[in-house]
Structure 1
């Protein structure tokens, strides 16, 4: 089923890419866009994860790292991957103050999980485990290929649309729709790509929350982490994500909230709804709601209450 969803998603993005090419250069432009999209899909399958890791300056780490928090982070990921029946992924840190995390890779054997320095600094060990278990769930569900490839293709669609005014013939009549059609394309094509991403991403986040909570064995810790990350993402800008908004769907929490970016077509469910689902899962797992209540997006529930600690970067 995941392979079918991936094919349908890539087909939709390829069709959109061809539509952009047609609007810019007519039938010739559509043919060029088809060839380019085919090459881009093939290239993305093998290289999109490397592009994303390089974009965010991810640095692989291991048990020999001098920082104790990083060593614990690496050890916990290795242990949870083993318990989940997964190959050990590459574990990396991203030099960024915004607490966040993502997973990438075309399959479990070629996966990488990444946490920002801000996340390791802000969260407790149990909360970090919860977040990384969520990312391992994406690996287990083979979501990483879909999310990484669609981020690359959607970014290419947005870039092609934004450059639409500079392509095609000198005479606007050579472009289907003329200048008005091109202007409409520049606005609507990135939104359409975002809608295609959103169609699958939101459901995947709920499923990764559920499986991640089961891997870590602590839904409350993940719920608490989501609330902390969401709150900080609204105050701390992630410059790389702002420059590459199509990559925002990779993260556990939308990284674009820091600068009031247009989140009308957010690929992430509301954090309050995710927290509520996790707390209900905790009840279903027989875990007592033992911690203080807080309110997130209008949802009152119980989450971990832990004292803040000095992290590895402060």
Structure 2
């Protein structure tokens, strides 16, 4: 395996003509995303823990599920019904690591479903130690008129409201030493003009992370977030044009899109004892793009 970060994953140009309808599947992407299936090696950092990962069927969520399982955790995976085939693939890798996998399909925009996910995790896996709020909807625009009220409300429900509902349901089950890890984005600071609503939700997540950290620190629960840059996941062929997809990540310092597997170590750090003095932090994993 190369140690040169410029060569650690496929480089542009990528095949551009591979658009997908929402919600998108990893199995239809070329090249196939690297979730750490053959590379991630666990160190026993999460033995005996239970983790709930939203959007755990594919992309960053699958990479985190694989890493957490190899670190010793049992995994509950939240995903949309249409993503069942990807979720089954993630379950395969979790179980291959010798851990239990619970699949919980449904729409996180529903407050009641958020509570069901937590209840099932606790009931069927015996507790909840780590909540990874990773699932997200991305809306793109060329002008102000391109985003409907339904788009606006749906994005905030999926990306922000769900995080609040899940934390609200999960915290009563969490003991000191538990952790919440949220997925924000470099868009929280950069706010590309074509991602007005998505960037706004990610900025809200960054602020929510700090607020929850301050609120939950007295309970011994740490709350942090990871800010990915352009990562090779199913969200890309959903929202990007062929031209944009071909050059994804070419404007980063490292000159390529990141792979989901390159995010997993940050999520492990924030969930494990290795990050015991980290709370309220934002870790950029952006290929060198600064977040100031």
Same fold (TM over 0.5): no
Larger Cα-atom Rg: 1
Bin for the TM-score computed over the shorter chain? under 0.3
Indicate the structure with greater helix content.
1
Higher relative contact order (CA 8 A, sep 6+): 2
Indicate the structure with greater strand content.
2
Q: TM-score when scaled to structure 1?
A: 0.24
